[in-house]
Structure 1
Amino acid sequence: MHATSGRTVRDLRRENRTAVLRRLYFDGPMSRLMLGPATGLSSGSVSNVVAELVAEGLVEEAGSVDSAGGRPQTLLRVSPDSGRMIGVDVGETRVRVELFDLTLTELARTDRALPSTGPRTSRYDVDLVVAHVRDGIAQVLRTAGVTPDRLLGVGVGVPGIVAHTPDDGAVVHGQTIGWDAVPFETVLRRTVDLPDTVPYWIDNGAKTLGQAEMWFGAGRGARSAVTVLFGSGVGACVVTDPLRPGRALEWGHLTVNVRGRRCRCGARGCLEAYAGAEALLARWREAGGAPPAAADEETALTAMLTAAYPAESGTVPDATALSVLEETAEYLGAGFADLINLFQPERILVGGWAGLQLGARFLDTVTRYATEYALRYPASRTSVGLGTLGPEAVTVGAALLPLDDFFARGGRRPETTPSTPAPAWQTALADRVTP
């Protein structure tokens, strides 16, 4: 037997608060008069919601503008001081932790390097990563003089597939870094010195990058996009609703060459075996190139690009580096074509530290190959470009995870669900039910 369900008055109030907060956040400052048509709410509803939000310190006045033939209109904006978020990027070369106010102004940051040598399982040791996150959170809070009770939450972007379970929260399946069903949220809660009331939001790093670019970067204004993240490896995120989180794709493990190079995931012929920074440098070395000795991946990739595309006129390009990069451009073009054919996005956006370096050099070549490999109609409707938020976009996107939840709750923090007694019939028949 099912009871009829519907939205309650409380649901409607929360939705109205969410509409006003989001509109002020993305398009403000705005006056009460502007908020009506922008949100679709009546003037009375706008006044009531704004009064609540101002009283709670979530919204504040931000000057005024002249109105046609009337009194100046007071402008409103979301108050930067009404909350704090932490964004964490568990990258493959370092762990970055940033503290933001509600308008994403950076208040403090710390970078903690991961080992650049040794077996992959030890370089990405779970205890080491968790220690970096723990110490980084403590440091940014201390640097900014912020107490943990000010936090709306901690967002974390990680490599791999993230499964959300009722018992262990976020569980990370990071095959390329040796993480096999790591109960990352449970370990963080046990290790990091934060109150139990501070929520963790853990998701794939390409997904957090995609949300950041859609909200504030090169994806703004698009109805759909695929954001690709190039670092040591390769990942992607497809977004079909600009205001909602996208879906992470293990695009780097798409097969582009049957029985091809061995990928670090263990399979053969993956795109990541040809296009990730780690694979690019390995292929250059195998072809006779000479990456700088003992250099980290970012420095080595810069050296490869400089050798292939020398800045000084008259300098002969490194033929080996240039050949490897041109082959990589074709592999990437084929991979982009698969994204175009499968998802038909308005835009493909390239991000990540390696993606921004590579894209600045040969994105036009990659786009040309993508057009050749993709179906003509969707390819003609897809533009390819670089992300605009820089290599820190994963951290910004991670901080958006608790912010998005905060807005969805109408600007209210998570509430403890009160316990309710079981129905009378359930108690009466408990002894008769067979386990």
Structure 2
Amino acid sequence: MTHRAEVPSAVVIGLEVGVAQIRAVAMAPDGSLVHSGRRPTRADRGPDAVLETVLEYAADLARHHAPSAAGIAVPGLVGEATGTSVFAAHLGWREIPVRRWLAEELDVPVAFGHDVRTGGLAEARLGAGRSCRSFLYVPVGTGIAASMVLDGYAPGGDGELGHVVVRPGGDPCPCGGSGCLETIASAAAIARRYRLATGEARVTARDVQARAAAGDGTAAAIWQEAVEGLAEVLTAAVGDSAPERIVIGGPLSLAGRTYLDPLRKALSERLTSPDPPRVVASALGRRAAALGAALLAQDLRPPRHPAGAEAAGHHSA
């Protein structure tokens, strides 16, 4: 079912540029989805090719949905005021004026944000954070980051948790360091470490989780080290902020209780607060950041008024 015939000028599109996939949504004013899709990022082709794919995908969406605005979420270090991808290691991007180029491609207003903040925004408005005042949103995928959300707003200061050193002298990290959390607790690291330990190719983090649950000792050790490392860093991240919840996003959240229960246990052993945050899975899954980008695009649109309202003096501020 599509809303294009009913609200062609009110639809917005949102894109998230991930390391493996570019995810996109087209959203109607009531928050319902007109479209949801994805395309391979193929970051191995180089930064220019990735950007070209993003612009082509956005243009295709615009041809089908005639959006009034667009939003885009990107990883790494961003300049939100300038709409710039300052540095995205896994994409090879440095100082890319993403918002300007996307606005030129689509000829509509474009909102720009960090993928973790936009994901947190979406969880606050549409997902696992709707009923609480404060939560820490932590997507665990190729990288690991966090965003504190307060009263439905992600004010910034996102933590690149994946680059906190937890195993000094450990495996090299794309950031240039070694022993970072990302090298043991990200989905990619879990799969890589199991492949190196067993010599088996084409194993995913979900495969490692299933094998750990089935009694594979190597898988269980790698899985547990990942959980313990994340719990160690989250304990410091929670600190004095005392969020009501920790919302775990990304592909590992799909592992359910086999991931969340050990994480809850590891956190409870470290946190001294009498009322520790509740650990829950994302309600929006891998689409959270794309949905958040669409919500940012909706925020760009001026309020709709009944016909003749402007003539009567009812102007928006």
Structure 1 segments (4+ residues) deviating >4 Å = 79-82, 409-412
Amino acid at match of 1:401: L
How far is 1:380 from its partner? 2.2
Specify which structure has the bigger relative contact order, considering alpha-carbon pairs within 8 angstroms and separated by 6 or more residues: 2
Equivalents in 2 of 1:358, 1:180: separation in Å? 34
Q: Which residue of 2 aligns with 1:274?
A: 184
- Alignment pair present for 1:307 and 2:205: no
Alignment of 1:163 with 2:163, yes or no, is no
Secondary structure, in 3 states, of the residue corresponding to 1:112? strand
Distance 2:137 2:298 in 1: 20
Match of 2:264 in 1: 367
Q: Which amino acid aligns with 2:50?
A: V
With normalisation by structure 2, the TM-score equals 0.86
Q: Which amino acid aligns with 2:70?
A: V
Structure 1 counterpart of 2:127: 217
Please name the residue that 2:36 is paired with.
109
Aligned length, in residue pairs = 299
Q: 1:393 & 1:103 partners in 2: Cα distance? A: 17
Secondary structure at 1:338's aligned position in 2?
Answer: helix
Could you say which structure has the higher helix fraction?
Answer: 1
What corresponds to 2:309 in structure 1? Answer: none
Q: Does 1:188 align with 2:102?
A: yes
Within 5 Å, give how 1:78-157 maps onto structure 2: 83-115=10-42, 123=44, 125-143=46-64, 146-147=65-66, 150-151=67-68, 153-157=69-73
1:110 and 1:140 in contact (8 A); partners too: no
Q: CA RMSD in A?
A: 2.3
Structure 2 CA distance, aligned partners of 1:128 and 1:107?
27
Question: What SS does the aligned partner of 1:234 have?
Answer: coil
Distance 2:225 2:175 in 1: 21
Q: Would you say 1:233 and 2:233 are equivalent positions?
A: no
1:346 aligns with 2:255: no
- Given that 1:262 and 1:268 are in contact with CA atoms closer than 8 Å, whether structure 2 keeps it comes out as yes
Question: Structure 1 residues 252 and 304, CA, compared in 2 at 3 Å: closer, same or farther?
Answer: same
How many Å separate the matches in 2 of 1:163 and 1:126?
A: 18
Q: CA offset at residue 211 of structure 1?
A: 0.5
Counterpart residue number, 1:335 = 233
Kindly indicate whether the alpha-carbon contact (under 8 Å) linking 1:82 and 1:102 is maintained by their aligned counterparts in 2.
no
Q: Please report how far the alpha carbon of residue 127 of structure 1 lies from its aligned counterpart in structure 2 after TM superposition.
A: 2.3
- Per-residue CA distance 1:101-157 (angstroms, 9 max, x = gap): 112222123321133xxxxxx5262322222222222323344xx33xx41x21111
Query: Is the 2:16–2:73 contact (alpha carbons within 8 Å) kept by the matching residues of 1?
Result: yes
Counterpart AA for 1:394:
A
Structure 2, unaligned runs of 5 or more: 1-5, 306-317
- Partners in 1 of 2:52 and 2:299 — Cα distance? 27
Structure 1 Cα separation of the partners of residues 46 and 276 of structure 2: 43
> Deviation string for 1:345-392 (max 9, x for gaps)?
11100111x232344422111111112222x12x62311111111221
1:202 match: secondary structure: strand
SS of match in other structure, 1:395: helix
CA 1:300–1:355 in structure 2 vs 1: closer, same or farther (change >3 Å)? closer
**Aligned-partner Cα distance in 2 for 1:124–1:199:** 29
Shift in Å, 1:203: 1.3
Distance verdict in 2 for CA 1:124–1:226, change over 3 Å = farther
Choose from 154, 164, 175 the match for 1:254: 164
Distance in 2, matches of 1:229 and 1:215, equals 17
- The answer to whether the 8 Å contact 1:176/1:264 transfers is yes
> Are the equivalent residues in 2 in contact too, given 1:158–1:204 (CA < 8 A)?
yes
Contact 1:233 1:272 in 2 (8 A): yes
Partners of 2:166 and 2:179 within 8 A in 1: yes
| Structure-2 change in CA distance of 1:303 and 1:171 (3 Å) | closer
Q: Deviations over 1:174-202 (max 9, x none)?
A: 13432222222233345x2x22xx12112
Tell me the CA shift for residue 170 of structure 1.
2.5
Q: Where does the alignment leave 5 or more consecutive residues of structure 1 unmatched?
A: 1-78, 116-121, 293-298, 311-316, 413-435
Contact 2:206 2:252 in 1 (8 A): no
Does the 8 Å contact 2:47/2:92 carry over to 1?
Answer: no
Q: CA deviation at 1:88?
A: 0.3
Return the alpha-carbon distance in structure 2 between the equivalents of residues 93 and 203 of structure 1. Answer: 19
Letter in 1 for 2:91: I
Q: Distance in 1 between matches of 2:122 and 2:270?
A: 29
Query: 1:360-399 maps to which residues of 2 (within 5 A)?
Result: 360-374=257-271, 376-377=272-273, 380-399=275-294
